[in-house]
Amino acid sequence: MDLSGNIVWITGASSGIGRALAVECARRGATLMLTARREEALEATRLACERPDAHRCMVHDVTLHESHAGVLEAILDTWGRLDVVVLNAGIGQRASIEETDPAVERQIMEINYFGCTEIAHVVLPHFVERNAGHLVVTSSVMGMLSTPRRATYAASKHALHGFFEGLRAELHHTHVDVTLLCAGYIQTDISYHSLKGDGKGHGAMDEQHRNAMSAESFARQAINAVARRKPVVFIGGPERFAPMLQRLSPGLVRWLLPKVITRD
């Protein structure tokens, strides 16, 4: 897929999947607005991209809802339009429901759910007015099922599917597309930064992520799916088939999950 001429906004672009998506989009010719909370890491992502001088970075926290319009305004002032928004910023969880403070559950929802849906509200009028645009959402296999010690994370991803599937249906008469990228285990620091029940960082890399698909491989498959305007795509190792197995044999999956997910 050639993205030449496309203006792409990527949230959570400072590391992991966001950084890999930025590098891949730039390789395919896109011009990027990269946003995240860490300025130095954002600049490192920009410099890792082809044609680094063509791209811009802005420090941006997806939980600061009043700031979203400012990013879109900067994009329109610089390039005159936005073609694709990649709603990628997110955070993981490593705690049981019993030990998780409800305030931490709200924090996860603010980042993973509202941090996507409220940006969608901001960019949608621009896309509809142009009758063109693409909303790309980094979800998870856990947007379709749930596992021990990830319940709130899974709930936030389930909520994304409910919102963006409904939005896609509402946009059926337009040329605005929605793609949900359902990631399995990907080799990133998500487990390291995941929140424990008290809101502190987990601070360790899970074995499943250490030995997983690279973020670069994920990004290539993800952008191929975006190019084909696929509504939903599952990317990862064998775990990507878990939602299909759940549909075929939900009882089997309920029996398996407590056995295959170990305590962190």
Distance of CA 148 to the CA centre of its chain: 21
Burial class (CB in 10 A: 0-12, 13-18, 19+), 244: exposed
Hey, which residues are catalytic here?
153
Mean pLDDT, the chain, rounded, equals 95
Per-residue pLDDT band at 15 (split at 50, 70, 90): very high
Q: What is the pTM of this model?
A: 0.95
Q: What is the pLDDT of residues 130-150, one digit of tens each?
A: 999 999 999 999 999 999 999
The CA-atom distances, in angstroms, between 174 and each of 130, 134, 178, 231 are: 10, 11, 11, 15
Q: What is the pLDDT of residues 54-85, one digit of tens each?
A: 999 999 999 999 999 999 999 999 999 999 99
Inter-axis angle of helices 151-170 and 115-130, nearest 10 = 10
Query: Which candidate, 258, 16, 18, 222, places its Cα nearest to that of 150?
Result: 258
Domains of the chain: 7-260 (3.40.50.720)
Q: Give the pairing type, strands 31-36 and 133-140.
A: unpaired
Inter-axis angle of helices 68-79 and 115-130, nearest 10 = 40
Q: Cα–Cα distance between 110 and 159 in angstroms, integer? A: 12
